[in-house]
C-alpha cells in the first residue's frame, strides 16, 4: 500500500515538471515571435515616415488644345458704309385728309374741276337703303351701282342710321357716319366714281367764367353761361376735394377756363376741354390745372405740382342732394331702426353714376333689396358699392376694368326703395365706413422732369385769363393728405 502511494506521488511530480517545461517553452517562443513582429512594425513605420516626408516633385502637364472661335461673317465682306433711314412717324389726319366744305359743289369743283348743279338734302327713311335714297334724288341705276361700289370700301352701308342726312348734287353726294368726318362720293370724268374722307373744320376758342354761388352752384353756373359739358368736367375735377352737398355755401366763388370746339360748317359745339378749375370756399382756396403727360395721360395739379386726385371721389354723381346720411336711422320701408351703412343721393331718374375710382368690377347685377348693384374693388384696401340703379352701363360686367369718372350706371329705384336715388358705400378692408368723412390718400406729385413744362402751362393759363380782362382768384392748394 505504501509503495503504491509513493509511486503515485512520484508520477505527479513528473507531470508537474513536464507541464512547467511546456509552459516555459511556449513563453520562450512567444517572446521571439513578438520581438520579430515589433521589429517588423518598426521597419514599416520607419519606411512610412521616410515616404511621408519625402520631398514633393513638380508635375508638368500640357494644356489641352481648344477649338478656335468661328470668325465673324461680317469680316468677310468689304466695309462699305450704309445709310439707314429710320421709319417716319404716322402723320396726323389733318395733314393727310382734305377739309370738308360747306357746299358739296366746292368739293366737286376742287376734285374734278367741274361745276355741279343744284344741291338738295335728303334723310334716310325707315327701311330705306342708300340706293333707294339716290333713286329719289334722280340717279339712274348704273350711277347708283357704281357709286355704291365706290363707297362700300369706306363705310358699312348696312349700319347707316335712320335719319342720316345726305347732301346730294348731280355729280356726287355727301354724308357722315362719325363726328368730325364726312364721306364724299364724286363722279370724276376720267376715273369714274370715287369715295374720299374729309375732316370737318373745327374752330377752337377759350372761355373764362367766374361766378358766385347763391343757392346752388349748378344754377349759378348756368346763369354765368357755362354749358353742361364744361360744368360736368368742373365737378369731376373738384369732386376729388370738395363735397358739393355739404361744403358749398352762399357767397362761395367759382371759376373755370374752358376750350370750346365748334364745327365751322354748321356752328354746332362738337367738343371741349377744361384747362383750369378754381373754387374759393369760406375757409380755403382750390385751383387745379390740366396737364397732358406722356401716352395720352391727363393729370390735374395745383400750381405747386400737388395732385388733385384722390383714391376715391366722395360724390360719384352730379346735381344730386344728400337725402340720407351714414349711421342709425329709421328705415323708410321696413320702419325699423337700423344701421345705414352708406349715404343716399337723391337725383332724377336716369342721372349718370360714375366710378368713384379706377378698379375691377367684382359684382354687377341684381342683388336682393339693393336692386341693380355694382361693387368695384379699387385696391387691397378700398371697395365701393352702388345700389338701386335703373340700369347698368354697357360693358360693365364682373372682371372688367373701369377708370375713375367712367359712367357705370344710371339712377333708379330698383330693389327696396321709395324713390329715385343712389345708395353709395365705401368699404375699407371689407367694412363700411362713412364716405363723407373717410380719410382718403392723395395722388402722387407731378414728376420733377415734367415740372418745368407744367409751370409753362400754368403761365400760359394765367396769360389767357389776363386776355379776358381779369385774374384768377384761386391760389395754390396746400398739400393735404386727407379731406
CATH fold for the domain made of 93-199: Nuclear Transport Factor 2; Chain: A, (3.10.450)
Go through the chain and tell me how many residues it has. Answer: 483
3-class SS at 111?
A: helix
Contact 461, 454 (CB under 8 A): no
All three cell numbers of 48, joined, read 512610412
Low-confidence ranges of the chain (pLDDT < 50): 1-6, 41-42, 45-53, 476-483
- Strand 181-188 vs strand 172-178: parallel, antiparallel, or unpaired? antiparallel
What is the structure's pLDDT at 481?
A: 40
321-433 homologous superfamily: Glucose Permease (Domain IIA) (2.70.70.10)
Which string of DSSP letters, residue by residue, matches 244-308? TTTT--TT-EEEEEEEEEEETTT--EEEEEEEEEEEE-SS-EEEEEEEE-GGG-EEEE-TTS-B-
Paired residues of 321 in beta bridges: 346
The CATH 3.10.450.350 portion of the chain extends over: 93-199, 203-310+444-467
Alpha helices in 53-170 (DSSP H): 93-96, 104-112, 130-136, 141-151
| Whole-number Cα distances in Å, 102 to 107, 193, 270 | 9, 21, 16
Question: Which residues have C-beta within 8 Å of that of residue 477, sequence separation ≥ 6?
Answer: 241, 284, 285, 286, 287, 288, 302, 304, 306, 308
The model's pTM: 0.60
What is the structure's pLDDT at 362?
A: 92
Paired residues of 344 in beta bridges: 324, 423
Work out the number of other CB atoms within 10 angstroms of the CB of residue 470.
11
Return the CATH architecture of domain 203-310+444-467.
Roll (3.10)
Ramachandran quadrant class, 96 (left: phi over 0; alpha: psi -120 to 50; beta: rest): alpha
**Percentage helix, strand, coil, to 5, in the chain?**
30, 30, 40
In the block, residue with C-alpha cell 373764362: 208
CA distance 363 to 361: 6
CA distance 129 to 8: 155
Amino acid at each position: 500500500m505504501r509503495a503504491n502511494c509513493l509511486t503515485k506521488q512520484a508520477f505527479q511530480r513528473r507531470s508537474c515538471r513536464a507541464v512547467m517545461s511546456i509552459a516555459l517553452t511556449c513563453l520562450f517562443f512567444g517572446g521571439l515571435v513578438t520581438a520579430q513582429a515589433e521589429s517588423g512594425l518598426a521597419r514599416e513605420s520607419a519606411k512610412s515616415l521616410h515616404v511621408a516626408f519625402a520631398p514633393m516633385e513638380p508635375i508638368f502637364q500640357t494644356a489641352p488644345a481648344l477649338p478656335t472661335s468661328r470668325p465673324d461673317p461680317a469680316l468677310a465682306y468689304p466695309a462699305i458704309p450704309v445709310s439707314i433711314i429710320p421709319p417716319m412717324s404716322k402723320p396726323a389726319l389733318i395733314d393727310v385728309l382734305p377739309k370738308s366744305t360747306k357746299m358739296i359743289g366746292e368739293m366737286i369743283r376742287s376734285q374734278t374741276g367741274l361745276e355741279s348743279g343744284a344741291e338738295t338734302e335728303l334723310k334716310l327713311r325707315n327701311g330705306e337703303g342708300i340706293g333707294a335714297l339716290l333713286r329719289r334724288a334722280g340717279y339712274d341705276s348704273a350711277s347708283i351701282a357704281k357709286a355704291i361700289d365706290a363707297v362700300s370700301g369706306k363705310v358699312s352701308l348696312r349700319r347707316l342710321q335712320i335719319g342720316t342726312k345726305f347732301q346730294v348734287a348731280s355729280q356726287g353726294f355727301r354724308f357722315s357716319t362719325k363726328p368730325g368726318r364726312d364721306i364724299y362720293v364724286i363722279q370724276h370724268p376720267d376715273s369714274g366714281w370715287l369715295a374720299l374722307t374729309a375732316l370737318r373744320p373745327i374752330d377752337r376758342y377759350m372761355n373764362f367764367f367766374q361766378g358766385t354761388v347763391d343757392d346752388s352752384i349748378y344754377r349759378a353756373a348756368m346763369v354765368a353761361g357755362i354749358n353742361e359739358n364744361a360744368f360736368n368736367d368742373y365737378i369731376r375735377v373738384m369732386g376729388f376735394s370738395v363735397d358739393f352737398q355739404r361744403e358749398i355755401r352762399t357767397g362761395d366763388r367759382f371759376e373755370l377756363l374752358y376750350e370750346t370746339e365748334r364745327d365751322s360748317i354748321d356752328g354746332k359745339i362738337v367738343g371741349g376741354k377744361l384747362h383750369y378749375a378754381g373754387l374759393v370756399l369760406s375757409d380755403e382756396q382750390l385751383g387745379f390745372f390740366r396737364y397732358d403727360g406722356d401716352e395720352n395721360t391727363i393729370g390735374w395739379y395745383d400750381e405747386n405740382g400737388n395732385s388733385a386726385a384722390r383714391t376715391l371721389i366722395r360724390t360719384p354723381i352730379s346735381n344730386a342732394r344728400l337725402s340720407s346720411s351714414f349711421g342709425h336711422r329709421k328705415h323708410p320701408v321696413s320702419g325699423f331702426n337700423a344701421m345705414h351703412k352708406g349715404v343716399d343721393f337723391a337725383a332724377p331718374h336716369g342721372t349718370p353714376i360714375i366710378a368713384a375710382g379706377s378698379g375691377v368690377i367684382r359684382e354687377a347685377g341684381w342683388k336682393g333689396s339693393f336692386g341693380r348693384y355694382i361693387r368695384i374693388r379699387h385696391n387691397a384696401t378700398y371697395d365701393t358699392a352702388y345700389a338701386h340703379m335703373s340700369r347698368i352701363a354697357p360693358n360693365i360686367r364682373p372682371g372688367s376694368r373701369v377708370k375713375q369718372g367712367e359712367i357705370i350706371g344710371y339712377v333708379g329705384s330698383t330693389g327696396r326703395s321709395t324713390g329715385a336715388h343712389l345708395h353709395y358705400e365705401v368699404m375699407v378692408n371689407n367694412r363700411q365706413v362713412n364716405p363723407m368723412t373717410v380719410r382718403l390718400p392723395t395722388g402722387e406729385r407731378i414728376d420733377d422732369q415734367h415740372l418745368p413744362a407744367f409751370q409753362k402751362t400754368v403761365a400760359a393759363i394765367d396769360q389767357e385769363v389776363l386776355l379776358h380782362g381779369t385774374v384768377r382768384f384761386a391760389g395754390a392748394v396746400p398739400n393735404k393728405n386727407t379731406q
